[in-house]
Amino acid sequence: MSNIKIFNVYKYYNGRAVLKNINLDINEGELVVLLGPSGSGKTTLINGIAGIISFENGEVYFNKDLMNNVPIEKRNAALVDQNLLLFPHMTVYSNIAFGLKMRRLDKQIIDKKVKLLIDLMELSGLEKKYPYQLSGGQAQRVAIARALAIEPKVLLLDEPLSKLDKNLRRNMQEFIKELQKKLNITTIMVTHDLEEAFIVADKIALLIDGEIKQYDTPANIYEKPVSKEVAEFFGCSNYIYGKVENGKFISDVGVFDVNVSNCQYATYMFRPEQIILGEKQKNSLKACIIKRQYLGDRVNYIIDINGNKLVCSSNNKNLNIGDIVYISLDFDKAICFFE
Partner 1 sequence: MNINKILVRIIALLLFFPILFMVFLSLSGAWPWPFLMPKSISLRGYLYVFNPSTKILKILINSILLSLIVTFITIAISLPAANALAFYDFKGKNIIKVLLFLPLIVPMIAVTMGIHLIFIRLGIVNTYLGVILIHVIPGIPYGVKILLNVFELKGNKIELQAKILGASTWQVLRYITIPIIMPTLVVAGSVIYIISFTQYFITFLIGGGKIITYSIILFPFAESGDRTILSALSVIFVISVLAIIYLSEKLVKKIYKNYI
Residues at the interface with partner 1 (CB under 8 A): 50-52, 71-73, 75-79, 81, 83, 85, 87-90, 94, 98-99, 101-103, 146-147, 149-150
36 lines the binding site for ligand ATP (CB under 6 A): yes
129 lines the binding site for ligand ATP (CB under 6 A): no
Contacts of residue 270, Cβ cutoff 8 Å, sequence gap at least 6: 237, 238, 240, 310, 329, 334
Interface region with ligand ATP, contact rule CB under 6 A, candidates 32-40, 99-107, 129-137, 242-250: 32-40
In angstroms, the first-to-last Cα distance of the chain is 43
Q: On the CB side of 334, how many CA atoms lie within 13 Å of its CA? A: 28
Q: Are 30 and 86 in contact (CB under 8 A)?
A: no
Q: How far apart are CA 230 and CA 214, in angstroms?
A: 7
Q: Are 103 and 76 in contact (CB under 8 A)?
A: no
Q: Are 4 and 49 in contact (CB under 8 A)?
A: yes
CB-wise, 73 or 279, nearer to partner 1? 73
274 lines the binding site for Mg ion (CB under 5 A): no
Interface region with ligand ATP, contact rule CB under 6 A, candidates 34-42, 56-64, 115-123, 167-175: 34-42
Interface region with ligand ATP, contact rule CB under 6 A, candidates 41-49, 117-125, 171-179, 304-312: 41-49
Residue whose Cβ sits closest to Mg ion: 43
Task: Count each helix (H run) and each strand (E run) in the chain, helices first.
Answer: 9, 20
Residue 39 touches which member of Mg ion, ligand ATP, partner 1, none, C-beta under 5-8 Å by kind: ligand ATP
Closest CA to 188 of 334, 7, 37, 5: 5
Closest contact distance (angstroms) between CB of 172 and ligand ATP is 18
Among 2, 40, 43, 191, binds Mg ion (CB under 5 A): 43
Residues engaged in binding ligand ATP (CB under 6 A):
13, 18, 36, 38-44, 192
Residues engaged in binding Mg ion (CB under 5 A):
43
